[in-house]
Structure 1
Amino acid sequence: MSTEITKEMWKKIEDEMSDGWVSIVFAYKGYEVGVERVRASESKTCLQVYIDGIIKGEWVSFSGNDGISDKAPAILADVWCKKTKSKYDTKFKTSMTKIWGKRRVTKKYPDLNDKHVFHVPTFSKASVVCRQFKKLEGITLVKSKSSFTGDL
């Protein structure tokens, strides 16, 4: 049974996501969005977002629309974490500007300030997931550890 999420429920969801073991399922635009805590390394965990229970590498593309391929679900940009990385690092930019000057460096390197944009299914903190999910219109809670229905 899916329920509309209130402000109090978001606080409880964030508290639950901060715990050691997390398995929460949301419904959004006809997709099932699952959030689980997984190990990122030997001593670090992160929250991972699954769409309909899976994550596929073919959903990510480095040529085109914000790092998302045509095979990706329509909601991927809404529920995955958006990351950006500069095409050139700061050291390279400053050295080229020092060599060529401000005007000529933009002629030699017109993409000097460009950024690579991509989406990843992992979030570092529960507050980041909740902040992003709160903005989504029509997201509902399907199930969680405590299901919150008796608590409210």
Structure 2
Amino acid sequence: MNKATTSTVAKTTKPAVKRAVAKPRTPKPVSLISKEQWQQIETEMAGSFVNVKFGYKGHEIHVQRERKDEATTCLSVYIDTVIKGAWMCQIKNLPEDAPKIIPDVWSQRTIAKYKQKMITQIEKVWGKRLAKKEYPELHGKIIWLCPYFSKASVLCRQFKKLEGLELTKAACLKNEPVFS
């Protein structure tokens, strides 16, 4: 081949340009509570005395501020006025009598299965490849459910994502204080 034919062949075989495919948008959950109401609820929950009730999938969700220890408080989420200790477990070990809404309304806490110091020691002794083979859950995490929230903003952020959540009792609904 001469130079003229090789240069034309090289010019005609251009790599195909890949176009980005737009991801389908997930629709935002339809909330029965307005943005202004969420701001009022959050400021109310940030206060000292909290007594707010929601309705969600046929259950009553009751949020109260309680003492965690001598100096700190937290927001407790009751489902049908109950918090059972058996429900505070790993998500995969949730009892059958537990309401199905618990993963939606309670906070998820995580902890590493192995501490970082232990991971580095295992990887130093075994090497990274063999450590991954011998300890498949070396970088795994344990996830469990907890009915306590440290801040009102965290609780509101999680509750805003719930579709069909309705506010049934709060001080921001009325101008008079809420008791009981």
How does the TM-score come out when normalised to structure 1? 0.90
Return the alpha-carbon distance in structure 2 between the equivalents of residues 19 and 60 of structure 1. Answer: 26
**Seq. identity, %:** 47
Q: Does residue 92 in structure 1 map to residue 118 in structure 2?
A: yes
Give the aligned partner of residue 141 of structure 1: 167
Give the aligned partner of residue 34 of structure 2: 6
Return the alpha-carbon distance in structure 2 between the equivalents of residues 4 and 137 of structure 1. Answer: 8
Deviations 1:130-152 (A, max 9, x none): 000000000000001232589xx
Return the alpha-carbon distance in structure 2 between the equivalents of residues 110 and 12 of structure 1. Answer: 47
Aligned residues, how many? 146
Q: Is the 8 A contact 1:84 1:115 kept in 2?
A: yes
Give the aligned partner of residue 142 of structure 2: 116
- Decide whether aligned partners of structure 1 residues 123 and 11 sit closer, same or farther in structure 2, where only a CA change above 3 A counts: same
1:77 to 103, 121, 124: 103
- Decide whether aligned partners of structure 1 residues 57 and 68 sit closer, same or farther in structure 2, where only a CA change above 3 A counts: same
Return the alpha-carbon distance in structure 1 between the equivalents of residues 88 and 67 of structure 2. Answer: 21
1:22 to 37, 50, 58: 50
Give the aligned partner of residue 63 of structure 2: 35
Q: Which has the higher strand share?
A: 1
Return the alpha-carbon distance in structure 1 between the equivalents of residues 159 and 175 of structure 2. Answer: 19
* Coordinate RMSD, CA, aligned: 1.8
Tell me: higher relative CO, structure 1 or 2? Use CA pairs within 8 A at least 6 residues apart.
Answer: 1
What 5-or-longer segments of structure 2 have no aligned partner? 1-30
Please identify the structure whose Cα radius of gyration is greater: 2
What 5-or-longer segments of structure 1 have no aligned partner? none
- Decide whether aligned partners of structure 1 residues 148 and 129 sit closer, same or farther in structure 2, where only a CA change above 3 A counts: farther
How does the TM-score come out when normalised to structure 2? 0.76
